[in-house]
A and B are shown apart, each in its own frame.
Chain A
Amino acid sequence: DAKTTQPNSMESNEEEPVHLPCNHSTISGTDYIHWYRQLPSQGPEYVIHGLTSNVNNRMASLAIAEDRKSSTLILHRATLRDAAVYYCILRDVGDNDMRFGAGTRLTVKP
């Protein structure tokens, strides 16, 4: 599986945008970029995914670099409820499993 690299932790202020980076320099052409987050004492939840183009949904935006070797999850306006561990995962279309790394622990300050 291609690996991803994320900062261990980040801090943000409430109501400000948050940009969570992910490096995946060995990404292949068939790897999708997935983001999940895990709130305290809960299972992970899907946030967004993409292949080449930037993606937007009600939770976040995903900006994918032109060479696809990095991506950024954008929370447009952080709330206290967004405090969680955010996982960036590469998944090939033929893979059965999602390989979760350590993720980025996001702290949101009021």
Chain B
Amino acid sequence: GAGVSQSPSNKVTEKGKDVELRCDPISGHTALYWYRQSLGQGLEFLIYFQGNSAPDKSGLPSDRFSAERTGGSVSTLTIQRTQQEDSAVYLCAVNGRATGYNEQFFGPGTRLTVL
């Protein structure tokens, strides 16, 4: 998606290891979202950052999941003690200003595989 990069594109890890997924939007997007998509499923909302407000963490599936956003730009999603059910594509999205923040631009995602 325009203006959002994610890294790594693919991550294979062993069960029990911690992983960090990165989202790097171009500057100026105040709202940032994390979603995950399991194989063949729709998107599942995880967390939302809006400016300096406290993030909406209501979608995080467990306390093994956490996210931060530094300087209002780059965001990192951390999964501790990964489990096989964490395997999914993790997508980051930001709001687009061109349509009055009504649309979201998605990054290409990080495909996480937990063995």
Contacts and interface: CB of A to CB of B under 8 A. Distances in A.
Nearest to B44: A100
B42 A103 contact: yes
Interface of B: prevailing SS: strand
B106 A44 contact: yes
A5 B1 CA distance: 26
Q: How large is the interface on B (under 10, 10 to 19, 20 to 34, 35 or more residues)?
A: 20 to 34
16 contacts: A42-B108, A43-B106, A44-B91, A44-B106, A46-B103, A46-B104, A49-B103, A87-B42, A87-B43, A96-B31, A96-B50, A97-B33, A98-B33, A99-B45, A100-B42, A101-B42
Interface of B: 1, 31, 33, 35, 41-45, 48, 50, 56, 59, 91, 93, 96, 99, 102-109
